[in-house]
Chains A and B, each alone.
Chain A
Amino acid sequence: MDDLLSEFLTETAESLDVIDNELVRFEADPGDRATLNNIFRLVHTIKGTCGFLGLPRLEALAHAGETLLGRYRDGTLFPTEQTVSLVLDSIDRIKSILSHLEGAGAEPNGHDRDLIDLLEAAAEGKLKSNSPPAPSAAPVAVPANPAKKPAPANLGPGERWDEDLGRVLRPGEVSLAELEAAFNAVDAEEIKAEPAAAPAPVVSAAPTAPPAIVEPPRVEPTRPIMLEDDADDGARAKGEGPQTNATLRVPVDVLEDMMTLVSELVLTRNQLLQMVRSSNDSQFKAPLQRLSAITGELQDGVMKTRMQPIGNAWKKIPRIVRDAARDLGKKIDLVMEGEATELDRQVLELIKDPLTHMIRNSCDHGLERPDVRVGAGKPETGTIRLVAYHEGGHIIVQLSDDGAGLNTKRIREKGLEKGLIAAADADTMSDAEIHRLIFAPGFSTAAQVTNMSGRGVGMDVVKTNIDAIGGVIELDSRAGQGTVFTIKIPLTLAIVSALILGASGMRFALPQLAVVELVRVSGQGANKIEHIHNTRVLRLRDKLLPLVDLSVMLGLTSAARPGRAQFVVVMQVGANRFGMVVDEVFDTEEIVVKPVASVLRGLSMYQGATILGDGSVIMIVDPNGVSRTMSSATMAAMRANVAETVQQQTASDAISLLVFKAGGEEPRAVPLSLVTRLEELDVATLEPTRRGRVVQYRGQLMPVIHPAGEYAFRSEGRQPILVFTYEGRTIGLAVDAIVDIIHEPLKVQLADSTPGVMGTAVLRGKATEVIELGYHLEMATDSWSFGAAAAQRSVLLVEANPFFRNMMTPLLQAAGYRVTGVDNAKAASAQMEAGGQFDVVLADIDDAAMRAELAETLRNSPAGDSIARLGLTKTDARDPAFGDAVRKTDRAGLLAALDYLVKTQEKAA
């Protein structure tokens, strides 16, 4: 059967049950407006849905019933037992038509003129109890094919019943005969079973009548008021209720209560297990093990009752896509995979609407019109894929389209226009960050509001809904290729796997969904928390991870406590990756999330509370809440930096700079990528020698210089030191104070002739001297003469921009290359002609003219073919003449590519 129809049947059956009961109540208390309104609303809904589904018979009947109810409602007609019975009769007629619909998939033939006439007459107030419309006329008029089989035997009981009542036939009773006649007429093969569907009206017409006098066959006279049950029995007797047989409808509350009880049971079991584990008394062990196993099975069983295939939430999607395609003049293929993936019905309910909204978005904004697609060289028909699968304890739902991708430019403009981003940030934000703006509240880019979407309630609502169930939503969009939304949601909300953490002597639970990894940090050693101004960071696999301290965030301590071994929980919330510092990590535990009292609900740091196995109550930390609190300016900068390095995003000239003060109040800067470590050392340990200061650092002697000269060292206390690694040696650059890390495009505006200063740039609105690191390092190495490194590979660096040249030279040197830097192709050519032997040419390929000139030089050079080439770019450009290309700010990528080239060369040789 059509899904839509079967859904309609289920819903309508429920509504009808309610109407039955409400009508009975209404009859007893006609002044009850609320009940009447409820009935009216339900009948109205049925009418509307029937019209929508093309069920004219039901619609007409419901319409007539609605009209009569309408008269009750506006007070022009007072409900009488007679008229209410009439409504009940029409409800029963609707039910019998529905049961036919359920069996045959279509309305039975025939019409309901008789009932409709009566309803209309009643509505006009013309129905009189002492002059009823001739009941005998109806059965004759109604059957679609009266010649076939009128079932005269069934007319008898109806009439006799009325006689027993001692009053004239009421209009309601007409329906019995008519109904059976109609049914018998259309379903000739089911004549014998048919009457069972009808008795209900008879009984309902006289709920107060003594039941014993009712004599129609197969009626349960002892259950006069159980209207729907009788109807159901009838349907079952006929074998026409396939949907009611195999399954049992259980109120959701019952399941919820069961779930709660099982959760309690699980907790109690955990408690018992813990007690027995710590005692040596083995007497309880065997039964407890059994209890444990049974509890586990029970939990699984109850969970299963709540599980539903995600396909249930997708049922309406094909229709939505079809309608959208028609309305928008697009051709759309919908591919759905993994419909059978099961998840908790509570979760299912909560993602239904967001999914529908996203599908509409994809149809409307994602896919292009056929002509546009053809123009772009894509097939005319766009594809929307909806995929669901299990991964760990989560469900992944992926919605992708092969449309145009998000319009980055438009989103950026919109973000600026709506004040979601600052103008200064707009240029430095990566595409992924720009894309995420669509999740910002009130953001909608649709140039014009269409029927489908773009009413301003957009992806922010989707994100809020998904956040609410502890899920995460991510998006990946490529221009011209399409957009992929990935939603990761927990299987169930009832039980989640959580990490139990300790902070300031208290325990907290953190849902594992957000946890990426755990890192143990200590005062010394490789994993060490470093400080930049007031911000703490962790250097994790060459990336800086911004840190928050759980204790500080919760106000348990005012400042970070250094020197202790701690743990960093690396968390990922949306695009935001950060570390949360905690004192201890205990274990993982399956916990039951319980809501907290309303007085605590405003605390965004918590998701709820739970009872642990040992019976204690602990708070559940909300990863989204933690992520939100990390929004200070420094954090934003760090985040940009992290996002940039983590996601390797496209074009952005911004680089991270460490801003510090050294020998004066004016800020100075150095590219962060060159800094290996930040230290703070006691000045007393910086031992002065004839050639400058040295310190014993990690088992080596490290020379330390101050950019402003020897006199600028502090006389006592601790001195912040930037540690650089240079040709396998470490060198310290002492500074007065570390100010900040900023992420901005760097434009050196004033070249400077002062040695050691590359120039002046405006950073954060302040003129900042950019240090020429190479100079200082050379000073240090010259004075300490490390000695020539053996058998170095040599690199010719052709880079017009002095900043990048200066940035890369020490970097390459540190990695063991001999570097010759030139600023144009002519100089490169001159170097080669002068007999320079180079293994690799590293060239800026953003400048087309220089690129061409350099390629020419290499072609003409006798050694040109043996020289490996690598392009450097700011914009992901590629040039075949230079093979591979690496982004200028991608330090790790550059070294890896060079290493690869050199190794290939060695093999070839």
Chain B
Amino acid sequence: MSAAVSQDLREYVTLVVGDYLFGAEVSRVRDVFDPQNITPVPLAPKVVAGLLNLRGRIVTAIEARERLGMPGRPGEAPRMAVGVERNDEYFSLIVDGVGEVLKLDPATIEANPSNLDTTWKDLSTGVYQLDGKLLIALDLERMLDCAPVH
């Protein structure tokens, strides 16, 4: 797969959430930063980690673990944020870590396995096989589409 033609490659930022490796399309990612001082919002849905100030802009932090239905992050564990804009609103996806940028050939993407959990199926556009690891391509649009509360 590494022999693919360069102009067709798709770039992914690798994100670590729990024991898994995810990929977010580089073209959608505006910032990668260390989230400081997240202000929790009482009564908000659990998936909203809170609000934070990114260069004077109020950003809604979405907890990736919660969104993926994974157990919460242990207290002092490191976390990183990926800034993504969606419908004129600025979000940051809180993950455990951000890794290198990978160039992958879209032709090698495989459909989600049919037995994958429906939540994950909804949030993933497919799976890449890396050496010894799987990379789950995230659908950022869906990741950030949290049903508003009423």
Given A554-B43, A599-B45, A611:B149 Cβ within 8 A: no
Q: What residues of A have a CB within 8 angstroms of the CB of B42 in the complex?
A: 506, 554-556, 605, 619
Q: What residues of A have a CB within 8 angstroms of the CB of B50 in the complex?
A: 617
A609 at the interface (CB under 8 A from B): yes
Q: What residues of A have a CB within 8 angstroms of the CB of B108 in the complex?
A: none
Q: What residues of A have a CB within 8 angstroms of the CB of B148 in the complex?
A: 598-602
User: Which residue, A264, A554, A616, A617, has most C-beta atoms of chain B within 10 A?
Assistant: A617
Given A596-B60, A602-B149, A611:B53 Cβ within 8 A: yes
> How far does the Cβ of A140 sit from chain B's closest Cβ, in whole Å?
59
B48 at the interface (CB under 8 A from A): yes
Q: What residues of B have a CB within 8 angstroms of the CB of A606 in the complex?
A: 41
Residue of A nearest to B145 (CB): A599
> How far does the Cβ of A622 sit from chain B's closest Cβ, in whole Å?
12
Task: Scan residues 57-105 of chain B and give those whose CB is less than 8 A from a CB of chain A.
Answer: 58, 60, 87, 89, 91
A619, B53: Cβ atoms closer than 8 Å: no
Task: List 4 additional A-B contacts (Cβ < 8 Å) besides A603-B43, A603-B149, A615-B37.
Answer: A599-B45, A600-B41, A603-B44, A619-B42
A267 to B146, CA, bound (A): 30
A597 at the interface (CB under 8 A from B): yes
A22 to B50, CA, bound (A): 45
A599, B43: Cβ atoms closer than 8 Å: no
**Interface residues as binary, A609-631 with B (CB distance below 8 Å gives 1, 0 otherwise):** 11100011111000000000000
A555 to B44, CA, bound (A): 10
Given A267-B56, A599-B45, A506:B40 Cβ within 8 A: yes
Task: Tell which of A596, A599, A603 touches B146, judged by Cβ atoms closer than 8 Å.
Answer: A599
Task: Scan residues 97-128 of chain B and give those whose CB is less than 8 A from a CB of chain A.
Answer: none
A611, B60: Cβ atoms closer than 8 Å: no
**Interface residues as binary, B1-45 with A (CB distance below 8 Å gives 1, 0 otherwise):** 000000000000000000000000000000000000101111111
Given A267-B56, A597-B60, A617:B43 Cβ within 8 A: no
A597, B52: Cβ atoms closer than 8 Å: no
A673 at the interface (CB under 8 A from B): no
User: Which residue, B42, B60, B87, B150, has most C-beta atoms of chain A within 10 A?
Assistant: B42
B143 at the interface (CB under 8 A from A): no
A390 at the interface (CB under 8 A from B): no
A616, B53: Cβ atoms closer than 8 Å: yes
Given A596-B51, A599-B60, A618:B149 Cβ within 8 A: no
**Interface residues as binary, A554-573 with B (CB distance below 8 Å gives 1, 0 otherwise):** 11100000000000000000
A594 to B89, CA, bound (A): 12
Residue of A nearest to B37 (CB): A616
B41, A268: Cβ atoms closer than 8 Å: no
Task: Tell which of B41, B43, B56 touches A611, judged by Cβ atoms closer than 8 Å.
Answer: B56
B56, A617: Cβ atoms closer than 8 Å: no
A274 to B150, CA, bound (A): 38
Residue of B nearest to A508 (CB): B42
Task: Scan residues 206-245 of chain A and give those whose CB is less than 8 A from a CB of chain B.
Answer: none
Q: What residues of B have a CB within 8 angstroms of the CB of A556 in the complex?
A: 42
A33 to B30, CA, bound (A): 37
**Interface residues as binary, A577-597 with B (CB distance below 8 Å gives 1, 0 otherwise):** 000000000000000001011
Task: Tell which of B37, B40, B48, B52 touches A599, judged by Cβ atoms closer than 8 Å.
Answer: B48
Residue of A nearest to B147 (CB): A599
A606 to B51, CA, bound (A): 13
B52, A617: Cβ atoms closer than 8 Å: yes
A610 to B51, CA, bound (A): 10
> How far does the Cβ of B49 sit from chain A's closest Cβ, in whole Å?
12
Residue of A nearest to B87 (CB): A598
> How far does the Cβ of B56 sit from chain A's closest Cβ, in whole Å?
5
A600 to B42, CA, bound (A): 10
Q: What residues of A have a CB within 8 angstroms of the CB of B147 in the complex?
A: 599
A268, B56: Cβ atoms closer than 8 Å: yes
A599 to B86, CA, bound (A): 12
Residue of A nearest to B38 (CB): A617
Q: What residues of B have a CB within 8 angstroms of the CB of A618 in the complex?
A: 39
B89, A597: Cβ atoms closer than 8 Å: yes
A264, B52: Cβ atoms closer than 8 Å: no
> How far does the Cβ of B73 sit from chain A's closest Cβ, in whole Å?
20
A264, B56: Cβ atoms closer than 8 Å: yes
Given A611-B53, A616-B39, A616-B53, A600:B48 Cβ within 8 A: yes
Given A267-B56, A597-B91, A605:B51 Cβ within 8 A: no
A267 to B56, CA, bound (A): 8
B58, A617: Cβ atoms closer than 8 Å: yes
User: Which residue, B40, B51, B52, B60, has most C-beta atoms of chain A within 10 A?
Assistant: B51
Q: What residues of B have a CB within 8 angstroms of the CB of A268 in the complex?
A: 56
B60, A600: Cβ atoms closer than 8 Å: yes
A541 to B48, CA, bound (A): 43
A600, B39: Cβ atoms closer than 8 Å: no
> How far does the Cβ of B118 sit from chain A's closest Cβ, in whole Å?
21
A268 to B89, CA, bound (A): 22
> How far does the Cβ of A329 sit from chain B's closest Cβ, in whole Å?
47
A605, B60: Cβ atoms closer than 8 Å: no
Q: What residues of B have a CB within 8 angstroms of the CB of A264 in the complex?
A: 56
Q: What residues of A have a CB within 8 angstroms of the CB of B41 in the complex?
A: 596, 600, 603, 606, 619
A267 to B57, CA, bound (A): 11
A519 to B52, CA, bound (A): 32
B53, A602: Cβ atoms closer than 8 Å: no
10 closest cross-chain pairs (CB), A and B? A554-B42, A597-B60, A602-B149, A602-B150, A617-B51, A617-B39, A599-B146, A597-B89, A602-B148, A264-B56
Q: What residues of A have a CB within 8 angstroms of the CB of B150 in the complex?
A: 602
Q: What residues of B have a CB within 8 angstroms of the CB of A619 in the complex?
A: 39, 41-42, 51
User: Which residue, A268, A594, A606, A619, has most C-beta atoms of chain B within 10 A?
Assistant: A619
Can you pick out 7 interface pairs between chain A and chain B where the beta carbons lie within 8 Å of each other?
A: A597-B89, A599-B60, A600-B148, A602-B148, A605-B43, A610-B58, A611-B53
B149, A599: Cβ atoms closer than 8 Å: yes
Given A599-B146, A600-B148, A617-B51, A555:B56 Cβ within 8 A: no
Q: What residues of A have a CB within 8 angstroms of the CB of B40 in the complex?
A: 506
B58, A609: Cβ atoms closer than 8 Å: yes
Task: Tell which of B53, B87, B91, B149 touches A615, judged by Cβ atoms closer than 8 Å.
Answer: B53
Q: What residues of B have a CB within 8 angstroms of the CB of A602 in the complex?
A: 148-150
**Interface residues as binary, A484-527 with B (CB distance below 8 Å gives 1, 0 otherwise):** 00000000000000000000001000000000000000000000
Q: What residues of B have a CB within 8 angstroms of the CB of A594 in the complex?
A: 58
A506 to B40, CA, bound (A): 9
B56, A600: Cβ atoms closer than 8 Å: no
A611 to B59, CA, bound (A): 11
Q: What residues of A have a CB within 8 angstroms of the CB of B47 in the complex?
A: 599
Q: What residues of B have a CB within 8 angstroms of the CB of A599 in the complex?
A: 44-45, 47-48, 60, 146-149
Q: What residues of B have a CB within 8 angstroms of the CB of A609 in the complex?
A: 39, 51, 58
A615 to B36, CA, bound (A): 11
B149, A600: Cβ atoms closer than 8 Å: yes
Q: What residues of B have a CB within 8 angstroms of the CB of A611 in the complex?
A: 53, 56, 58
A605 to B41, CA, bound (A): 11
Task: Scan residues 606-664 of chain A and give those whose CB is less than 8 A from a CB of chain B.
Answer: 606, 609-611, 615-619
Residue of B nearest to A615 (CB): B53
B91, A617: Cβ atoms closer than 8 Å: no
Q: What residues of B have a CB within 8 angstroms of the CB of A554 in the complex?
A: 42-43
> How far does the Cβ of A98 sit from chain B's closest Cβ, in whole Å?
37
Given A554-B42, A597-B60, A617:B53 Cβ within 8 A: yes
Q: What residues of B have a CB within 8 angstroms of the CB of A598 in the complex?
A: 87, 89, 148
User: Which residue, A267, A597, A605, A606, has most C-beta atoms of chain B within 10 A?
Assistant: A597
User: Which residue, A267, A506, A599, A609, has most C-beta atoms of chain B within 10 A?
Assistant: A599
> How far does the Cβ of A648 sit from chain B's closest Cβ, in whole Å?
37
Task: Scan residues 531-556 of chain A and give those whose CB is less than 8 A from a CB of chain B.
Answer: 554-556
Residue of A nearest to B47 (CB): A599
Task: Scan residues 133-150 of chain B and give those whose CB is less than 8 A from a CB of chain A.
Answer: 146-150
Residue of A nearest to B51 (CB): A617
Residue of B nearest to A605 (CB): B43
Residue of B nearest to A554 (CB): B42
Residue of B nearest to A603 (CB): B43
> How far does the Cβ of A295 sit from chain B's closest Cβ, in whole Å?
14
